[in-house]
A = this chain, B = another copy of it.
Amino acid sequence: MPDTPEPAPAPPAAISRRRLLGTAGATGAAGLAAGATGGTLFGTAHAGSGTTPLTSVGSTAHPFHGPHQAGITSPLQAHGHLIAYDLDPGTDRRAAAALLRRWSATAAALMAGRGEEADGTHMSLDAGPCALTLTFGFGAALFDTLGLTDQRPTALAPLPEFSNDALDRSRSDGELFVQIGADDALVALAALRAVRRAALGTATPRWQMTGFNRTPGATAHPMSQRNLMGQIDGTNNPLPGDDDFDRRIFVPADGDPPWMAGGSYAVVRRIRMLLDTWEDLPVADQERVIGRRKADGAPLGGDTETTPVDLTALDDAGNPVIPVNAHVRVSSPETNDGAAMLRRPFSYQDGLLPDGAPDAGLLFICWQADPLRGFVPVQRKLDRGDALSPFLRHEASGLFAVPGGAAEGEYVGQALFEG
């Protein structure tokens, strides 16, 4: 099999294969440095070369334990899987708790790059953690099933119906939700398989979706993500450094219900894009639909992607520079009391529909402390007057309570099951 293309030099933080496997001491990475780019490192001799470093793509690791679950503020990964599970008939609270304990152990091992511990296929052997994250959540139906109705958050009330929805219920909702992200497809798929194996006999997949984002290093501008309409996406996301970021995205320590402290709510929407129609539109028209320039994401009339959107600007003829129904205007935080959700999507491409149209679009995922202040008001406005709506089909929907992160020795959701 031919070599993969020459990898980039290893950054100083690269970790070695031996360290990943835990077979070398703290000095195992000695001698690795940014300059160690040649020689056998990318040559043909690889058997036994246990201390060759991974590049940053492979070596990036996110901690499993912490106040919040990983996969919410973690940088977008190149590959993702979303899966909803329903509990098998007869599964009780204790069995469900045991599943979350197994899933947590699996996630902790895989996210640390110990794939050999938790993987029936071993397809992620050789690979580093590759920025893997696993994130677990609970759907509204779980609480009735387990006799925990009094613990169900009011924020899990069903989302309102929107006029543009054409939801496939078999691909919506679910009692348990798992989000997997990684910068390598085999690492992500190994995690998907490990999650599935850990659930055998307890829960069965209800639906499963697979998506992608840019490969790290594919662009000169690592910040820019483009969706499949070619539009730079996510510009106005709140940033973890913002003063009120935590308040907007995470349930506070004294939040309600108490077991959701440090948690967040995920809205998941499978949004198909009518790419055949969209691509027929001249770029200038596409830009007026969005309200931003295609090339650099700058708002119409603005200089750069990060130029604030000026909704009051008029052109020489006295018309709004940003059309009244442009997506950026209708969804603008300036008319929504500030963006109260963090968008963290994957694109998807599932081949062709029976009519030949591409089955492709966005696995929209947004995170918020309260869906009624985040997704719902924005989507209500978009539903009424967004010039982008005719090019979109909302085909599936889910709303999940994602508990806070697990402390060392604990598992995700422990406060619900044992609280």
Interface residues of A (CB under 8 A from B): 1-11, 16-17, 34, 37, 42, 44, 46-49, 52-58, 60, 73-76, 78-79, 119-123, 125-128, 130-131, 183-187, 189, 192-193, 197, 204-205, 208-210, 212-230, 233-235, 237, 239-240, 275, 278-280, 283, 294-298, 303-306, 343-344, 347, 349-352, 356, 358, 360
Q: Which of B126, B279, B295 contacts A121 (CB 8 A)?
A: B279
Chain B's nearest CB lies how many Å from the CB of A235? 7
Stoichiometry, copies per complex? 2
A358–B123 CA distance with the chains assembled, in angstroms: 15
**Complex interface: chain B residues within 8 A of A46 (CB):** 220-224, 305
Q: Which of B56, B220, B227 contacts A8 (CB 8 A)?
A: B56
Chain A at the B interface: SS class: loop
The answer to whether A9 and B7 touch (CB under 8 A), given A126-B221, A197-B279, A234-B1, is no
The residue in chain B whose Cβ has the minimal distance to the Cβ of A209 is: B351
Q: In the complex the two chains form, is A4's CB within 8 Å of B216's CB? A: yes
Q: In the complex the two chains form, is A210's CB within 8 Å of B52's CB? A: no
A192–B212 CA distance with the chains assembled, in angstroms: 15
Q: In the complex the two chains form, is A347's CB within 8 Å of B183's CB? A: no
Other 15 A-B pairs with CB < 8 A, given A127-B218, A217-B217: A2-B74, A4-B214, A5-B131, A46-B221, A52-B221, A54-B218, A54-B219, A55-B218, A119-B230, A120-B278, A122-B283, A126-B221, A184-B218, A193-B358, A215-B215
Q: In the complex the two chains form, is A218's CB within 8 Å of B11's CB? A: no
